[in-house]
Amino acid sequence: MQRTWIEETTNLVGKSVRLNGWAHRIRKMGDKLVFVDLRDGSGIAQVVFYKPDLAPDVCAKVDELKPEYVLEVEGVVQKRGEKQVNTDLATGTIEIGAKTVSILNTSQTPPFPIDQDTSSVGESVRLKYRYLDLRTQRMQNHLRLRSKWVQACREYLFGQRFVEIETPLLTKATPEGSRDFVVPSRLQPGKFFALPQSPQQYKQLLMCSGFERYFQTARAMRDEDLRADRGFEHTQVDIEMSFVEREDVMRMVEEMITHAAEKLGFTIREKPFPLISYQDAMVKYGADKFDMRSEEEKAKGVLAYAWVIDFPFFERDIKTGKWTFTHNPFSNPLPEYLEDHLAGRNIEKILTSQYDLVCNGFESGGGSIRAHKPEVLEATYKIMGYDQKEIESSIGHMLEAFRYGAPPHGGIGLGVERNLMNLTGEAALREVVAFPMTASGVTSVMDAPSKLDDATLQELCIKTCEK
């Protein structure tokens, strides 16, 4: 018999079905009647074993059942009596009258209950047994919502002529930005790859390649200390478009975000998203990310998106006194500042084409119109104090690509975790990530990082130091 999903059983009253899943809860009512709440990837249904009607070997198996045993149940979908309807359960109008049961696997008693929310269980226990934590309703909901949200973004993008392209994970260390995660090269001993902090340069190269509209759900890695809302690695819906101006990208992203949020049943506070300048945001909210919702809207889970624009391109580095970029060195300045930018004049006044999408107090995404003329990017690096040689070695490949008919382009990266935190109302990143890390950077279940044996280190030409 073909397997039926639990969710579908409500439409199958009177039919024989085969169900697969886990024993969620078991209630043994004396010697004759046993209720098992069976859980699969679609939901939970009550299975009734009435032992006087069952074969002796089936009864013996029913006696053995414990929580989290993996079962195959065959039985008939029955309408529940009026007094027995459970309105808390999606399948509460029916139950499965079991004929047979197979125990596909047994289970040790889980370290914490699977049938309850685990938010009060200690982090280290949850992470050690992450695969069990993920069985709980809340964690299932979060990861399923995450999948649906990304799916909705994809759906929208595919409808707008976007092409999904993957960019390399093993790539080049860049001097600016955050600390790189680094991977030793065996074939080039003593040299290292860096894991990408963002697909920034590759996606701009794809614009130079004529794809015009690119996206990917990209992993990005940064070796900086962790926070509740920040991990070593995160995923972004990474987008880049050719022949666009700032407002074109913003409009497109706004449509996509709206499509995704509303498809998943969320309410957006204000459409079109309000627009505020960095200056005004700092005056009004004291920050460039802010929460505009009332307490009531917070309780309802309303999403309050806003755009922040007109950021300064540069700021002084407190330590070195040099100019450094505030957001993204690959951005174009706003058109009215282009002349000053190229000349390196009035640097403190130059505004960038950067736009940040803010939602419920978090930065949900950020992007800009990029430099596509070599002289603009070069000017940015000159302002930051790079000499010709340093410019050549760090971004020479980009300058060269721009000399072969690079189209004007711009894009955005939307943090998947940040967006899911807003959708779920969770305050911690690890609640929307399948296998997150602890604050000290140790992975769940697998307990990485770990030591390498001497032979491996030797092959990689690496000496370790005692710290």
Partner RNA sequence: GGAUCGGUGGUGUAGCCCGGUUAACACGUCUCCCUGUCACGGAGAAGAUCGAGGGUUCGAAUCCCUUCCGAUCCGCCA
Residues near RNA (CB under 7 A) are: 25, 27-33, 35, 37, 46, 48, 50, 52, 66-67, 80-81, 83-86, 88-89, 92, 95, 109, 111-113, 120-125, 127, 176-179, 197-198, 200, 222, 224-230, 318, 325-330, 428, 430, 438-440, 442
CB of 118: closest distance to RNA in angstroms? 8
CB of 265: closest distance to RNA in angstroms? 25
CB of 231: closest distance to RNA in angstroms? 10
| Nearest CB to RNA, comparing residues 222 and 341 | 222
What are the backbone dihedrals phi and psi of residue 433, each rounded to the nearest 5 degrees, phi first?
A: -120, 140
Residue 288 DSSP label: S
Helices (H), 237-291: 246-263, 278-285
| Nearest CB to RNA, comparing residues 153 and 429 | 429
| Nearest CB to RNA, comparing residues 168 and 189 | 168
In this structure, the number of other CB atoms found within 10 A of the CB of residue 212 comes to: 17
Cα atoms in the Cβ-side hemisphere of radius 13 Å centred on 23 = 32
Q: Which of 102, 91, 87, 85 is nearest to 12 (CA)?
A: 91
What's the CA gap between 15 and 79, in Å, rounded? 11
The enclosing H or E element of 130 equals helix 130-133
CB of 440: closest distance to RNA in angstroms? 4
Q: Which residues contact 284 (CB under 8 A, 6 or more apart)?
A: 276, 290
| Nearest CB to RNA, comparing residues 152 and 384 | 384
What's the CA gap between 22 and 413, in Å, rounded? 39
Q: Which residues contact 121 (CB under 8 A, 6 or more apart)?
A: 112, 133
CB of 454: closest distance to RNA in angstroms? 23
| Nearest CB to RNA, comparing residues 97 and 301 | 97
CB of 459: closest distance to RNA in angstroms? 28
What's the CA gap between 199 and 216, in Å, rounded? 9
| Nearest CB to RNA, comparing residues 268 and 326 | 326
| Nearest CB to RNA, comparing residues 80 and 219 | 80
Length in residues, the chain: 467
CB of 282: closest distance to RNA in angstroms? 15
